[in-house]
Structure 1
C-alpha cells in the first residue's frame, strides 16, 4: 500500500484491487453516485470492479507522470469513502489533452461531511507543489450543484461552459498555481464566485 497524502481525517492511498474491490463496488454500483458519471462508470459485480482497479493502476504506471486516481480512506474507520483523481482531461475523442483535472466520487453515506473538499484541497496542493502544474481544472455537469459548491470551497474560478472535454457540455472551473492558497481561504471572495456560478447556471 502506498500512501500519497494525508489530511486530518483522511488518507489518500493507492488502490489495492484484491482488498478494495468490494468497497469500490459498493460505491460505483450506487446509481446515485454514478448519476453524473454515466452508465459506463458502473461495475456489474465485484470481479469486474477488481479488474477496473487493476487496469487503472496499469494506466497510471504507463503514464508514469504522477497522475492517477486514489482511494480516499477515513482514518477513524479505515473505510474507503470514495475516489480522488488528478488526470489529463480527454478531448471529445477520448484522447488526452495537456489540461489536467481534479475530480472526486464519494459514497452516498459520506456525502455532506466535507471529505471531497478536504481531499480536493490536498490533491490540488500535490498537483501544484509536486507535479508543478501551472493550472488545474474541474469540469462539472450543469445540474451537479454539489460538485459546483465543492469547486467554490476549493477557491476555483468559474470560467464558463465548454464542450472541449469528454464530448459533452460542461461547466469549467480553474485554479492557477499562483492562486493555490485561495483554496485555504474558503470564504474570501466566496460571494463573488457564487454569483459567477449563478450567472453560468442561469445562462445555460
Structure 2
C-alpha cells in the first residue's frame, strides 16, 4: 500500500500541524530519538537508526491496521519537525495488565519544543480527534515517575494516576483518561 493510501488525518492547532509522516521526517526523527536530553526519562542512551526506522514505519502500519496511531507534529511557523504524538495499540505487557484493546497515548517532542506547552497543545488536539473518531475510548499512558513534564501534560489532558508497576526493569507510572476525558474515578 503506497504511503498516499494510508489515511492519516490532518489536524491544526494554533501553533502546530499534526499529520502523517513524510520521507523527509526520518532524519529529524532519528535526531530526536538519539538526543540524550529527549531520552532523559526513557532509560536509553539512544535508539539506533534501525530502531528509529522501525518506529517510523510503525506509524504507517498502525494507521493502516488500526485506523489510529501517531501523528508527526510540525511547527506551523517554521515547518520544523517538532515530534510525534498520538494514540496507538501497543499490546504492552504490564502487571497488572491494562484491558485488551485499550489505546495508549504517547508523545515525544524534539528538544527545541520542550517546556513551551507544545505537548499539551498537541495532545489536547489528539484527544479531541480520538473522542470523535474513536467514540471517546478510555486511554492509558505510561511514563517514568520522575518525568514531571509529561505527568503535567497528562494531567492537563484529563489523566489521573492509576498504578505504578515495573516495565523493562524500571518503575513505570500508569495513568488513565476516562472515556471522553470525563473525570477518572479511582477505586
What TM-score does the superposition give when structure 2 sets the normalisation length? 0.79
Contact 1:34 1:42 in 2 (8 A): no
- What is the match of residue 175 of structure 1? 177
Please tell me whether the aligned partners of residues 157 and 181 of structure 2 are also in contact (alpha carbons under 8 angstroms). no
Provide structure 2 residue ranges, at least 5 long, that are not aligned to the other structure. Answer: none
C-alpha spacing 1:19/1:143, structure 2 compared with 1 (3 Å) = same
Mapped to 2, the partners of 1:178 and 1:85 lie a distance apart of: 15
Gaps of 5+ in 1: 183-195, 197-204
1:77 partner SS: coil
Instruction: Kindly indicate which of the two structures has a greater share of residues assigned to helix.
Output: 1
Corresponding residue for residue 12 of structure 1: 18
Counterpart Cα distance in 2 of 1:116 and 1:109? 12
What is the DSSP-based 3-state SS (H/G/I as helix, E as strand, rest coil) of the residue aligned with 1:98? Answer: coil
Note if 1:85 corresponds to 2:86. yes
Distance (whole Å) between structure 2 residues aligned to residue 10 and residue 58 of structure 1: 23
> 98, 106, 109: which is aligned to 2:109?
106
From 147, 152, 156, give the equivalent of 2:155: 152
1:22-171 equivalent positions in 2, closer than 5 A: 22-39=27-44, 42-44=47-49, 49-50=52-53, 52-61=55-64, 63=65, 65-92=66-93, 97-163=100-166, 169-171=171-173
1:80-132 Cα distance to aligned partner (Å, 9 max, x none): 11110211242328xx9322111110111111110110011111122221111
User: Structure 1 CA distance, aligned partners of 2:89 and 2:79?
Assistant: 29
Match of 1:199 in 2: none
SS class of match (1:60):
helix
Aligned pair count reads: 175
Question: Is the 2:103–2:137 contact (alpha carbons within 8 Å) kept by the matching residues of 1?
Answer: no
